[in-house]
Amino acid sequence: MTAGRVPPAWTAAPADSVLLDGFHAVKHALRFGATPQALLVTDRAATRALAAELAPDLVDLLDALAEEVPAETLRGLLPRAHPTGVAALAHRRPRAANLATLRALPRPAPVVLLEDPRNLGNVGAVVRLAAGMGATGVVTTGTADPWHPNAVRGGAGLHYATAVERVTLDEPPPGPLYVLDPEGEDLRDVRLPDDAVLAFGTERHGVSAGLRARADRLLALPMRPQVSSYNLATSVAMTLYHWSAAPSASAGPGSVG
Ligand SMILES: C[S@@+](CC[C@H](N)C(=O)[O-])C[C@H]1O[C@@H](n2cnc3c(N)ncnc32)[C@H](O)[C@@H]1O
141 CA distance to ligand 1 middle (Å): 16
Q: Whose CA is nearest to atom 9 of ligand 1?
A: 206
Find the 200 Cα to ligand 1 centroid distance in Å. 7
**Tell me, what's the pLDDT at 80?**
79
pLDDT given at position 249: 58
Tell whether ligand 1 has an atom less than 6 A from the beta carbon of residue 178: no
Q: Is 229 in the pocket of ligand 1 (CB under 6 A)?
A: yes
Specify the pLDDT at position 209: 96
Please tell me the distance between residue 113's alpha carbon and the centre of ligand 1 in angstroms: 13
Question: How high is the pLDDT of residue 158?
Answer: 98
Check residue 5 and give its pLDDT: 85
pLDDT at position 230, please?
A: 97
Q: Under CATH, domain 95-255 is a member of which superfamily?
A: SPOUT methyltransferase, trefoil knot domain (3.40.1280.10)
Ranges in the chain, pLDDT < 50: 1-2, 256-257
Which of 116, 129, 179, 180 for mutating ligand 1's site (highest number of atoms within 8 Å of CB)?
180
* Amino acid 79: pLDDT: 78
Cβ contact 19:152 at 8 Å: yes
Single pTM value for the model? 0.92
**Residue 220 Cβ < 6 Å to ligand 1:** yes
Cα(20) to centroid(ligand 1), Å: 30
Residues with Cβ within 8 Å of 139's Cβ and at least 6 positions away in sequence, in order, are 102, 111, 112, 113, 114, 146, 164, 165, 166, 167, 172, 173
